[in-house]
């Protein structure tokens, strides 16, 4: 990569990164305290999940373990968040639960992007049969409420992590197809797309090097918000009992287990619940401010 022109400038993605990370956008992004809070929450929960094996005082409690003597103890110096019905340390389980939940949410979002975005690009770029087929299929999925579709699929597939990911992805990809299709439709009539076409650039190249790059901000915003809602949905599936199966430390599942011991053992439901609340809020706050920072229609509005 050595030329007379700065090589860096011409590398794919550098222009984009420059655009996305220009100071103005960063200023817009961090213009209020809620944004900072969202970003901090996202980073902290991610760090806690990754570092769970190091941070948790009782890593062996994450899955199957029974300590009858210590069951249902209230929070103490030894067990910060108390213990559950098996005597397992809830703090450790909440940390490990973050790993499971974040893994599910990230996998679902990435899988949905991987399926939904290319379909949206193709549907938006071409008119006619391809467009109709893709969009009508997407419409069928969109017509069913996400929770009901995910619930019935998860129930049919059986309770384990890969199945939860499949169930949630199937109900999520059409949303990416929809928004990417709409953006592609408007972008494909831009003069610079027409110019590339008349220069004989291939459709694949136009779709990925021009159009996809321009839809990235939308995808990032939707993806971030989507992670939040997916965490909530995964917890809901766990709570209902069609999500992951019992020994797995999953927040929704933990709350479901706690129900029979309420209200006496308040810590049993409170800490997994707080974990869900803070993580989801983090992603949604961050997604909202990403949207404000990247949405061209909101540019120029200074807070």
Partner 1 sequence: MRITRFSAIFLDEAMTSPLLEIRALKRYFPVRSGLLHRITGLLRAVDGVSLEVNAGEVIGIVGESGCGKTTLGKTVQGIYRPTAGEIFLEGKPLSRLPAKDLRRLGLSLQYVHQDPLASFDPWWPMARSLDEPLRAHTDLPWSERMERVVRIVKAVGLDTEHLECFPHELSGGQLRRLTLARVLALNPRVLILDEPTASLDVSVQARILKLLSDLRSEFKLTYVFISHDLRIVRIMCDRVAVMYLGKVVEIGPTEAVLRDPRHPYTRALLAAIPRLSPGEPQDENLLEGEPPSPLFLPQGCRFSSRCPLFQEGLCNASEPALSPIGPGHEAACFRSAELSTSEETVARVGGFGLEKAEKREGSKMRIGESDAS
CB nearer partner 1, residue 54 or residue 199: 199
33-50 and 90-125 helices cross at what angle (nearest 10)?
110
Q: Which of 76, 127, 160, 202 binds partner 1 (CB under 8 A)?
A: 202
Q: Which one among 130, 190, 298, 299 touches partner 1, defined by CB under 8 A?
A: 190
Contact 83, 89 (CB under 8 A): yes
Residue 211 or 284 with smaller CB distance to partner 1: 211
> Smallest gap, in angstroms, from Cβ of residue 209 to partner 1?
8
DSSP classification of residue 133? H
Per DSSP, the residues of 201-233 read --HHHIIIIIIIHHHHHHHHHHHHHHHHHHHHH
The residue among 22 and 160 lying less far from partner 1, judged by its C-beta, is: 22
Closest CA to 180 of 218, 226, 131, 220: 218
The residue from 129, 143, 191, 301 that contacts partner 1 (CB under 8 A) is: 191
Residue 217: CB minimum distance to partner 1, A: 10
Angle, CA of 70, 78 and 47, to the nearest 5°: 115
In angstroms, what is the minimal distance from the CB of 117 to partner 1? 18
C-alpha distances in angstroms, 163 versus 113, 147, 168? 18, 15, 8
Residues of span 9-38 touching partner 1 by CB under 8 A: 9-10, 12, 15-16, 19
Selected from 31, 71, 131, 210, the binder of partner 1 by CB under 8 A is 210
Complex with partner 1: residue 12 or 303, whichever CB lies closer: 12
Among 34, 127, 194, 298, binds partner 1 (CB under 8 A): 194
Peptide bond into 187 cis (omega under 30): no
């Amino acid at each position: 990569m050595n030329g007379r022109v700065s090589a860096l400038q011409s590398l794919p993605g550098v222009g984009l990164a420059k655009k996305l990370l220009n100071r103005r956008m960063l200023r817009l992004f961090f213009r209020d305290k809620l944004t900072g809070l969202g970003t901090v929450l996202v980073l902290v929960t991610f760090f806690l999940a990754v570092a769970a094996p190091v941070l948790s005082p009782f890593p062996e409690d994450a899955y199957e373990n029974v300590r009858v003597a210590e069951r249902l103890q209230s929070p103490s110096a030894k067990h910060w968040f108390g213990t559950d019905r098996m005597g397992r340390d809830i703090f450790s389980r909440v940390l490990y639960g973050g790993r499971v939940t974040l893994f599910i949410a990230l996998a679902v979002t990435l899988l949905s992007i991987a399926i939904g975005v290319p379909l949206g690009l193709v549907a938006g770029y071409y008119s006619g049969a391809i467009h109709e087929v893709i969009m009508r299929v997407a419409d069928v999925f969109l017509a069913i409420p996400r929770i009901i579709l995910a619930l019935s699929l998860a129930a049919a597939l059986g309770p384990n992590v890969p199945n939860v990911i499949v169930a949630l992805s199937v109900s999520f990809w059409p949303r990416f197809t929809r928004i990417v299709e709409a953006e592609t439709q408007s972008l494909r009539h831009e003069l610079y797309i027409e110019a590339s076409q008349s220069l004989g650039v291939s459709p694949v190249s136009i779709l990925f090097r021009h159009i996809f790059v321009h839809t990235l901000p939308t995808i990032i915003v939707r993806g971030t918000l989507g992670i939040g809602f997916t965490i909530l949905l995964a917890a809901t599936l766990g709570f209902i009992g069609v999500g992951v199966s019992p020994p797995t430390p999953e927040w929704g599942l933990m709350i479901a287990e706690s129900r029979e011991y309420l209200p006496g053992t308040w810590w049993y439901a409170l800490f997994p619940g707080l974990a869900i609340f803070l993580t989801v809020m983090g992603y949604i706050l961050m997604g909202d401010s990403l949207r404000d920072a990247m949405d061209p229609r909101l540019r120029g509005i200074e807070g």
